[in-house]
Amino acid sequence: MSQFCADKILIADDEPSVRLLVKKLLSDNYIVLEASNGEEAVSVTRTEKPDLILMDILMPKMDGYTACYAIKTDEVTKGIPVVMLTAVAHKLNKQLSEAMDADGYITKPFSFQDLKDTISQFLPASKKI
């Protein structure tokens, strides 16, 4: 992996299997950071400044909506795109995500193609995966 293409993606999900899957799919082309709850996601975002965040909605300590809002209202991190991930495809979840300034929304289970398409929307200069 060249340093030029080393975009950082944070996967924030309380399910270790989801984090592992995303890491396996993306680690050849990206630096993959992990957080297991919303508080950790906010902390990692402030210290590591990822280029993209994939954020689960239902997490312990701080849910994804609250974490997204914290990231989007922080002067240092507000420009980082946040894509919400959820197992529940309710219209209300999508509306709440948009209200918290989330930049995108993916329903679990997602395909590798869905993930690639979403990443390329936010990291178009990145090496294609």
pLDDT, one tens digit per residue, over 17-39 is: 999 999 999 998 899 999 999 99
Q: Over pLDDT 70: what percentage of the chain?
A: 81
Q: What mean pLDDT do residues 99-124 have?
A: 83
Provide the pLDDT for residue 2: 41
Domains of the chain: 3-115 (3.40.50.2300)
Q: Over pLDDT 90: what percentage of the chain?
A: 57
Provide the pLDDT for residue 129: 52
Q: Is the pLDDT of residue 87 over 80?
A: no
pLDDT, one tens digit per residue, over 40-80 is: 999 999 999 999 999 998 899 999 989 999 999 999 999 99
What 3 state SS string does 1-56 have?
CCHHHCCEEEEECCCHHHHHHHHHHHCCCCEEEEECCHHHHHHHHHHHCCCEEEEE
State the average pLDDT for the chain. Answer: 86
Residue 90: partners with Cβ closer than 8 Å, 6 or more residues away: none
Residue 54: partners with Cβ closer than 8 Å, 6 or more residues away: 9, 10, 11, 12, 13, 22, 83, 85, 106
Provide the pLDDT for residue 110: 84
Provide the pLDDT for residue 86: 78
Q: For residue 14, report the phi and psi dihedrals to the nearest 5 degrees.
A: -80, -10
Residue 64 has which token pair?
Answer: 């994804």
Q: Is the pLDDT of residue 88 over 50?
A: yes
Contact between 29 and 125 (Cβ < 8 Å): no
Residue 91 has which token pair?
Answer: 């219209």
How, if at all, do strands 82-86 and 52-56 pair?
parallel
Alpha carbon distance 123, 16 (integer Å): 25
